[in-house]
Structure 1
Amino acid sequence: MSEQLLFGGAFSVVLPDNRDDLSVIRQIPDNQEVFAHPQTDQSIIIELMEAVDSQEPDEVAIKTHFDDLATANGAANDSRVIHTEQVMKDNIAMEEADSCWYVIGEQNIAKFNEAVKNTVELHMGLLRVGRYSTDILITFNDPINIDVASSSHHAVPTSVTRWNTDDLKRVLSSLKLKDPSIFGL
């Protein structure tokens, strides 16, 4: 694990060492930072999002983001939340966050509009930052069943260390705001 600056140095986070910054390979939206495991098809996405209505309870906000991602992945009718929990503020570095939530779910996703679907376990962390009307999402995509007909199907050597839930929780707990001007204030 090592520290990584995000969004031009506005944030820092601790990420697994075995990662590729996908912005070097392809265009990434300005509100996202995307890192991929070089061998397992796993990815970590850190995303600055418009806050879900602040009148909604936070556990509804994370479910809303999860459902929005399922829709974007073409899995709106093929996804489920398995577990939701609140992360205590003492366990996160981002002082500006009003609350932090964590959800585990599954989505069956077709990669590149293929006919076959892969089962992806999603770990999603949500940091709600009301003073900037921003929700910060950290999503860990972990393919757990890749169809043999998928373009993602390949043998991963048993010697490869996969990212795990603890890695994502370290990412979520280590995120720090270094420059609030990123919010345009």
Structure 2
Amino acid sequence: MTLHKCLSLASCLWVLSLPAVASPGEHFDFGHSAPAASATRTIEVEMSDIAFNPKSLDVKAGETVRFVLVNKGHLLHEFNLGHAAMHAEHQKEMLDMQQSGMMTPTAINHAGMDHSAMGHGSMNMPGMKHDDPNSVLVEPGKTAELTWTFAKTDNLEFACNVPGHYQAGMVGQLKVAP
């Protein structure tokens, strides 16, 4: 075995030995996840088929908000913070997850997911997981939370990227003021 292959194998083994957390290397210019205890405000967002209530939100740069997400609909929904381009990219991943059977229109395939990390789903199939710190899936009749510290003034969206939901209008405006 060459030195390069040994170093590559050692690197892979080191990465696999790290504890599972939600996308630790992922950086968002608009903020980061935070513990619920650090929230300065709580906002409840209702999810229905196919809409958010409220449809727009205003927060301040530097503010830590605890979002309480209540799915009152009959379908699986997602609450995802980001820019439109981020949502478009994430929608491709969500379609792959649905096509692979990891989620159905109404549920998450719990047999293939580990919900212990940060309250988000993590799937056991290589390359496919739903563990982004800016996103949470909520099954019908369930409630979930996401706590976020907003880093800068920005115009974001909160969206459901379950296939077809964003396109049907399940997206809201989130303005981050100074």
TM more than 0.5: no
Higher relative contact order (CA closer than 8 Å, sequence separation 6+) = 2
TM-score normalised by length of structure 1: 0.28
The structure number with the bigger radius of gyration is 2
TM-score when normalising by structure 2 = 0.29
